[in-house]
Structure 1
Amino acid sequence: MRTTRTWCRCPMEMHIACVCGFAWILPTAVSRRQDSSLGKYVVVTGVSPTPLGEGKSTLTVGLCQALGAHLGLRAVACVRQPSQGPTFGIKGGAAGGGYSQVIPMDEFNLHLTGDIHAVAAANNLIAAALEARMFHESTQSDEALFNRLFPVRKSGGESRRPLAPGQAARLEKLGLPLEAARDAELLNSEQRRRLARLDVDPDQVSWRRVLDTNDRFLRSITIGQGASEKGHTRETGFDIAVASEVMAVLALARDLRDLRERLGRMVVASSRAGEPVTAEDLGVAGAAAALLRDACQPTLMQTLEGTPVLVHAGPFANIAHGNSSVAADLLALRLAGEEGVVVTEAGFGADIGLEKFCAIKCRASGLAPD
């Protein structure tokens, strides 16, 4: 990916970092407009989904060009980032068509700012952390596991076992003494066991790995066949990256803090007692959020007629909620202002994308189309 950057302002006075015809929108652009009036909110959907698409992106782009370039309104389009799966499949790219396209089209369809790869990295980090936790819990005693997870730290002549924020959250979740967050030594042996062991049921792991390619032979695989895994084999598989819950969460988050909290609440498995195990329980939610730090920022592009387009997130509608991000829509509405118009796209058909737009995205954002 090309990484030459220049700092500039766009006509709508957004703080941006330009890269080869598109730009990251910096967090300052969002924070400076928290109190701005919102524009009109329009959603585009389709009735009959087809393998070749229905023309929603083309209509979204064309409508914004008509409103912005021809009628002189402050019009902004919000679309999803395309997955490599459809791009290299029968459907092709998602930049629109004819004279209603997002440009540069090749950058738009190929990697763009790498947000989808960041989602895949975060998803697979969680998968790796889950497998490692299951492995170590099965091979270590309660005491050894506790010592690994909560090492002794010396400070000012004192030795304590302080808990990280995620570990402290698990302490509260289990109803254990909260004062142990400062020093886990205060816990008795049974409390230590409960805190340290997630006791994941291998048959109830719902978290799968992802790859942004249509590779049907990875849909079902067997893992743990190496000699060092000591026979801990398990059947799992790969999904496409945009089907990851990480992508769905990214599209619903308002900012990095909100994203961090949502990542922590994701359920990745169940324990043998039937209790949900979350990414926060694994202690990996913060690391996943760090990988997604730049992916939180919408990308500014333009149509063939020079009207602005915000590109952000790309969840599939037949698996996730199929809409571009709440963050991009909110920013666009504030940029457009009271007299402006924002056109966003609900993916797939009206029976999936639009329904989830109303039932999931609008509930998360508090917005409703005009």
Structure 2
Amino acid sequence: MSFKSDIEIAREASKRPIQEIGEKLGIGSDDLLPYGHDKAKISQRFIDSVQDNPNGKLILVTAINPTPAGEGKTTTTVGLGDGLNAIGKKAAVCIREASLGPCFGMKGGAAGGGYAQVVPMEEMNLHFTGDFHAITSAHNLLSAMIDNHIYWGNELQIDTRRVVWRRVMDMNDRALRQITASLGGVANGFPRETGFDITVASEVMACLCLATSLTDLQKRLGDIIVAYTRERDPIYARDIKADGAMTVLLKDAMQPNLVQTLENNPAFVHGGPFANIAHGCNSVIATTTALKVADYVVTEAGFGADLGAEKFMNIKCRKAGLAPDCVVLVATVRAMKMNGGVAKADLGSENVEAVKSGCANLGRHIENVKSFGVPVVVAINHFHGDTAAEIAAVQEFVKTQGSEAILCKHWANGSDGTRDLATRVAQIAEQGSANFAPIYPDDMKLADKIDTICRKIYRADGALIDGKIRAQLKQWEDQGYGHLPVCMAKTQYSFSTDPEARGAPTGFTVPVREVRLSAGAGFVVAICGEIMTMPGLPRVPSAEAIMLNDDGQIEGLF
């Protein structure tokens, strides 16, 4: 059986002018800044005008730990949004923008798939409205101003050994992880070690995604710690006088982007912090604006629930005063089989016992989501070849966890494949989740917050935090940063820091290799295991298959 590729489906889409999509949410054409005919930014004037509107219902879509078999979290997010509209609800989708790094590396795209996509697919996966380029420029402007300050006399007495602000680019390039800069003599400055992170790991990205206004954004940018003096006193971006110019570069990037699904329903696509390195959620301003103009807002958090959902609850909801009314946990029969020990090459054969064995991963995620006090529904993202017995095995297991699993066929059938899920989610969301709460309080010690996540979410025996790192955390607490949430940076493929440990591993600890203070974004990053803030390309990157065909159309995105 042959299927059309995602890009072929997207190319055949019957898109409506973006002004018509805005009208569905009450956004007039005067409040849309068009980028062509099918995408636009929403004005701050409009955002300000709807702040007194009541909030709609917030639905979070998360997933099990990702496997090479694929889970389809974004596809399910889009399919559920379309499904809610199909059953007569006024719904909008909120997802992240795609990074060029993974697009040309492993993922090949990030706009959903099949008949549950957001369009324009090609532009969304490439330059889109330029937001990531603006973030890259703002970040690197600060980098340049730091080195320039040192070059012209170093009035702030920056210790060049303690410059913690690196550079970024929106591409996977392992060769730039660690570099020596300013070589070549006196005219080029003072040589020092530095390096590059990927743009989506930038604190500027996190600041933009958590900011509520341009004023708030500039304050957050000014609060970024870029270096320390010999006496270990922090130097902030505002000390370098970079925060104003950075805000200017981000002025348009701060405005949420409006596009549409294949079924012409509104989608907000804005921001894109990595979930295994940063907090993995789309922007607060996009989500909160959508909640003011739609009755239901379906958003996603990156990777599995141990990373994306945990950070959505503990960081984004805490900072923005949000509370999800329902959580949808995406799983596939194929991924259950892989978690049960089946190799990718053998997934086409029925193996009910492997499905049952692999459900341990799903069960742990269900328990974790429930620990936040929110109701959870499992969406079984259907793949061709899934058997009735395998699907029934997942549904029976989920029943034993006090939840329910609903089969979804949105990839093949669009909204027709998610009507059952949409109907049930709407029923649950209407009841609300009055019991929602993050899993640790603001006043808990930073080391204890890290340990709490490791024990309660990963089910580790605890976090391994050596004396030097504990002393650093204590120093930040003494400086007034102890109330901040923690952002765990670890592999997305496992509850542990071993990417090969599938299922629901136990009997392990989580080594904390490094901690970083993101004072502007408002969280402390704990880097665990071998996680990289600048990914590399795989042996065969997706870029090798991306090209223009004879008609000038893009091929290879998926």
Q: Same fold (TM over 0.5)?
A: yes
Once residues 365 and 202 of structure 1 are traced to their aligned partners in structure 2, the CA distance between those partners, rounded to angstroms, is: 36
1:351 paired residue among 301, 306, 313? 306
**Matched letter for residue 10 of structure 1:** E
Give the equivalent residue in structure 2 for 1:188.
Answer: none
1:368 paired residue among 317, 323, 328? 323
Give the equivalent residue in structure 1 for 2:119.
Answer: 103
Once residues 226 and 52 of structure 1 are traced to their aligned partners in structure 2, the CA distance between those partners, rounded to angstroms, is: 49
Give the equivalent residue in structure 1 for 2:46.
Answer: 29
Matches within 5 A, 1:15-94: 15-20=31-36, 21-50=38-67, 54-68=71-85, 70-94=86-110
- Structure 1 230/328 Cα, relative in aligned 2: closer, same or farther at 3 Å? closer
1:226 Cα offset (Å): 2.5
For the pair 1:311 / 2:266, whether they are aligned, the reply is no
Matches within 5 A, 1:1-370: 10-14=23-27, 15-20=31-36, 21-50=38-67, 54-68=71-85, 70-138=86-154, 197-229=155-187, 232-336=190-294, 340-370=295-325
**Matched letter for residue 147 of structure 2:** E
After TM superposition, the score normalised by the length of structure 2 is 0.53
**Matched letter for residue 161 of structure 2:** D
- Asked whether the 8 Å contact 1:6–1:19 carries over to 2, the reply is no
| SS state at 1:10 partner | helix
| SS state at 1:137 partner | coil
- Structure 1 98/225 Cα, relative in aligned 2: closer, same or farther at 3 Å? same
1:291 Cα offset (Å): 0.2
- Asked whether the 8 Å contact 2:151–2:189 carries over to 1, the reply is no
The alignment yields a C-alpha RMSD, in angstroms, of 1.7
Say which is worse superposed, 45-54 or 256-265, in terms of deviation.
45-54
- Structure 1 311/53 Cα, relative in aligned 2: closer, same or farther at 3 Å? farther
- Asked whether the 8 Å contact 2:18–2:39 carries over to 1, the reply is no
1:46 Cα offset (Å): 1.4
| SS state at 2:239 partner | helix
CA deviations over 1:295-331 (Å, ceiling 9, x no partner) = 0100001100111100111000111101000000000
CA deviations over 1:190-230 (Å, ceiling 9, x no partner) = xxxxxxx3211112111111111112211111111122446
- Structure 1 334/269 Cα, relative in aligned 2: closer, same or farther at 3 Å? same
Once residues 43 and 292 of structure 1 are traced to their aligned partners in structure 2, the CA distance between those partners, rounded to angstroms, is: 27
Please, which runs of 5 or more residues in structure 2 have no aligned partner?
A: 1-16, 326-558
After TM superposition, the score normalised by the length of structure 1 is 0.79
Please, which runs of 5 or more residues in structure 1 have no aligned partner?
A: 139-196
CA deviations over 1:215-251 (Å, ceiling 9, x no partner) = 2211111111122446611111111111100001100
- Structure 1 237/65 Cα, relative in aligned 2: closer, same or farther at 3 Å? same
| SS state at 1:94 partner | coil
Once residues 187 and 241 of structure 2 are traced to their aligned partners in structure 1, the CA distance between those partners, rounded to angstroms, is: 22
- Asked whether the 8 Å contact 1:60–1:77 carries over to 2, the reply is yes
| SS state at 1:37 partner | coil
- Asked whether the 8 Å contact 1:52–1:91 carries over to 2, the reply is no
**Matched letter for residue 87 of structure 1:** C
Once residues 269 and 46 of structure 1 are traced to their aligned partners in structure 2, the CA distance between those partners, rounded to angstroms, is: 37
- Structure 1 230/123 Cα, relative in aligned 2: closer, same or farther at 3 Å? closer
**Matched letter for residue 280 of structure 1:** R
Once residues 90 and 43 of structure 1 are traced to their aligned partners in structure 2, the CA distance between those partners, rounded to angstroms, is: 25
- Structure 1 317/18 Cα, relative in aligned 2: closer, same or farther at 3 Å? same
- Structure 1 137/52 Cα, relative in aligned 2: closer, same or farther at 3 Å? farther
- Asked whether the 8 Å contact 1:10–1:16 carries over to 2, the reply is no
- Asked whether the 8 Å contact 1:77–1:308 carries over to 2, the reply is yes
Once residues 82 and 185 of structure 2 are traced to their aligned partners in structure 1, the CA distance between those partners, rounded to angstroms, is: 59
Once residues 69 and 166 of structure 2 are traced to their aligned partners in structure 1, the CA distance between those partners, rounded to angstroms, is: 27
